[in-house]
Amino acid sequence: MIARLQEAAVICVGLLASQVTLSPSQHIQPPSYDQDPRLLILERFFENRESPAKELARDFLIASDENGLDWRLLPSIAFVESGGGKDCNNNNIFGWDNGKEYFPSFRAGILIVANRLATSKLYRDKSLEGILAVYNPRPGYSALVKSVMARLSTDELPQPAMSRL
């Protein structure tokens, strides 16, 4: 036990001693979602349903990408649970903990739930079906969320402009 603590301390000291300084031109830029078609799809989806989650489309993408989740999962759960924020308490658009969990904001809830789905022993390393079965084991829940996910894949895609003849 002491040997492991000493090894961890040496690693920490090494990491602290090897700090890298970046010049202003080397700063890491977060990915831009401005040209990402998923952003437009989510915005249209929520806008067409008069949902306040339209303003959160970028946050859904960031949280999904940072946690290795299917980009359609979080918005679909939010839509099924609260109409995308139309009907919820405690900034809890996901119905997390039967809607009892308090989040400081919708954005915070998105980040927290995404992280829990990716890292909690209950969810990590599970298939989509496995995640949804744990999230809400009620019969038909998984099919409902997956039907919203399918809509995001097809119905909300921008349609190509028809050329004039």
Confidence grade of residue 22 (pLDDT, cut at 50, 70, 90): very low
Residue range 130-152, pLDDT digits in tens? 999 999 999 999 999 999 999 99
75-90 burial string, b = 16+ CB within 10 Å, else e? Answer: bbbbbbbbbbbeebee
- What the block records as the tokens of 11 is 């690693």
Predicted local confidence at residue 1, as pLDDT: 54
Half-sphere exposure of 152 (CA within 13 A, CB side): 27
Half-sphere exposure of 13 (CA within 13 A, CB side): 6
Half-sphere exposure of 8 (CA within 13 A, CB side): 5
Confidence grade of residue 124 (pLDDT, cut at 50, 70, 90): very high
The backbone torsions φ and ψ at residue 115, rounded to the nearest 5 degrees and listed phi first, read: -65, -40
> Rg (Cα) of the chain, in Å, rounded?
20
Q: Does the pLDDT value for residue 60 go beyond 80? A: yes
- 70 with 149: CB under 8 angstroms? yes
Mean pLDDT of 120-127: 95
- 96 with 42: CB under 8 angstroms? no
Mean pLDDT of 9-22: 43
pTM attached to this predicted model: 0.76
